[in-house]
Structure 1
Amino acid sequence: MITRPLPASCTVLGYRKDGRPIYPVLGASSDDGSNDEAAVSISQKQLNALLSREKDQGGRAAVRALADKLGFANATELADYVNGQRQAEQEQLTETQRREQELVAREKAVIAREAATLVRERDAARRAVLAGVGASGQDLEDAAVLLRVDDDADDATVRQAVQDLKARRPELFTVPPTGTALPPAAPGGAPASVPPPRPGTAASKPGAAGAEMARRRGLLPAA
């Protein structure tokens, strides 16, 4: 049997109807080197899909190995455990935030009470200064409203402001000025508008005058 050698692969055997050349079929001979190098045509999209599938398979294998190492039956149990830990951490964080908010609210309430106390003490001190120069009753309330002084003013500034208000609105301050003599006392130490008791006159009992009038009219027997 005579073996006929194939022509070289680059030899044109003929042409197709559309004009393309026809070459010998590669791999027809066991001696042809193309048998060891199979040419595969694949698109970029197919290549990316293959690589992604291999990556996913490798990732799942790694997860399964990690689950086995940590003592979980499968990857689902491992995922449930991780999600549970995350939820517990979130709840703990929420509780901590709630406590912090309550602490901030209490601190604000304490500050507000202290501020209110300072305001009351400041107003009381200024009303005392106003009362010391003659303001009383409703006049004291009006004077406290009309007093023009900053909230953080010192005592000297407050006293000066009170004197200025007294100069502008003297009708709010009714205490007699220093040095004005009081009305003279009547004899016996009674006020001038009340007559002193007569010497030797005993103080009458309540109802004694009415009883005496009834006796004079004969309504009561004579004593």
Structure 2
Amino acid sequence: MTRSLPAPDLVLGYRRDGRPINPVLGASADDPSNDEAQVTISQKQLNTLLAREKDQGGRAAVRQLVDKLGFSSTTDLTGYLTAQRQAEQQQLSDLERREQDLALREKTAVEREAQALARERAAARRALLSGFGASGQDLEDAATLLGVANDADDIEVNEAAEQLKARRPELFTPHPADAPAPTAPGGSPASVPPYRPIPVERSPGAAGLEMARKRGLLPPA
């Protein structure tokens, strides 16, 4: 059977790198190979074959890696890697928790120190205002109206106290209730009666016996 040669631009298929496969020109028409059936595949089929071969090669590489790492299957390798990730995550969580606890302790210490400093500062300013004459509720009002910054020095606080006294003298004026009560003739406050010694009762003749002892007529008791 005589067959005509295929057209030179006929694409019989594609190589793995995507190059087209063209018929080999110059062959003899009487060559027995001309009677063999020619198979033509589409680009989609070729891509499928290439992908399958690539997948098989990838699985072979994975099996080789699993054997090299000493695991019997990919499932064992996956389980080992999962456990390692969980352990690393747990370690990271523990570290973060310790860092948070440390940060909280440092914050608490700073807050306590600030509160103690604020109490000392308030006590010192109340003592200063008390020295200017403020007392009782007026002292608390004066401390509120002092109006100085927390980091003000002693000179600034003293000047502010003087200005406040000049502006609000009623806060530094002693009230009658705060004045000490006048003393009584006996040295006790006016509200307390003076001390009167309680007379001691003596038996009849006690005065004479005492006089005789003073004169040496009788021995001491």
The interval holding the TM-score normalised by the smaller chain is 0.5 to 0.7
Aligned to 1:203: 197
Work out whether residues 133 and 175 of structure 1, in 8 Å CA contact, stay in contact via their aligned partners in 2: no
Q: Verify: 1:9 aligned to 2:14, yes or no.
A: no
Work out whether residues 71 and 77 of structure 2, in 8 Å CA contact, stay in contact via their aligned partners in 1: yes
Offset at 1:55? 2.1
Fraction of identical pairs, as percent: 54
Aligned to 2:80: 81
Q: Verify: 1:97 aligned to 2:96, yes or no.
A: yes
Write the distance in 1 (CA, Å) between the matches of 2:185 and 2:54: 122
Decide whether aligned partners of structure 1 residues 202 and 76 sit closer, same or farther in structure 2, where only a CA change above 3 A counts: closer
Work out whether residues 143 and 172 of structure 1, in 8 Å CA contact, stay in contact via their aligned partners in 2: yes
Write the distance in 1 (CA, Å) between the matches of 2:154 and 2:99: 40
Structure 1 length normalisation: TM-score?
0.65
Query: Is 34-43 or 136-145 further displaced after alignment?
Result: 34-43
Aligned residue type for 1:77: D
Write the distance in 1 (CA, Å) between the matches of 2:148 and 2:91: 51
Work out whether residues 3 and 34 of structure 2, in 8 Å CA contact, stay in contact via their aligned partners in 1: no
Write the distance in 1 (CA, Å) between the matches of 2:92 and 2:188: 80
Alignment of 1:210-221 (within 5 A): none
Decide whether aligned partners of structure 1 residues 36 and 157 sit closer, same or farther in structure 2, where only a CA change above 3 A counts: farther
1:153 aligned counterpart, secondary structure:
coil
Aligned residue type for 1:158: V
Aligned residue type for 1:203: P
Offset at 1:30? 5.8
Write the distance in 1 (CA, Å) between the matches of 2:40 and 2:148: 96
Aligned to 1:108: 107
Aligned residue type for 1:106: R
Name structure 2 gaps, 5 residues minimum: 8-26, 176-181, 202-221
Offset at 1:48? 2.8
Matched residue count:
177
Work out whether residues 63 and 74 of structure 2, in 8 Å CA contact, stay in contact via their aligned partners in 1: yes
* Cα deviation code 1:15-45 (max 9, x no counterpart): xxxxxxxxxxxx99661676799563322x3
Decide whether aligned partners of structure 1 residues 147 and 37 sit closer, same or farther in structure 2, where only a CA change above 3 A counts: farther
* Cα deviation code 1:122-170 (max 9, x no counterpart): 1111111101111111111111111111111111010000001111111
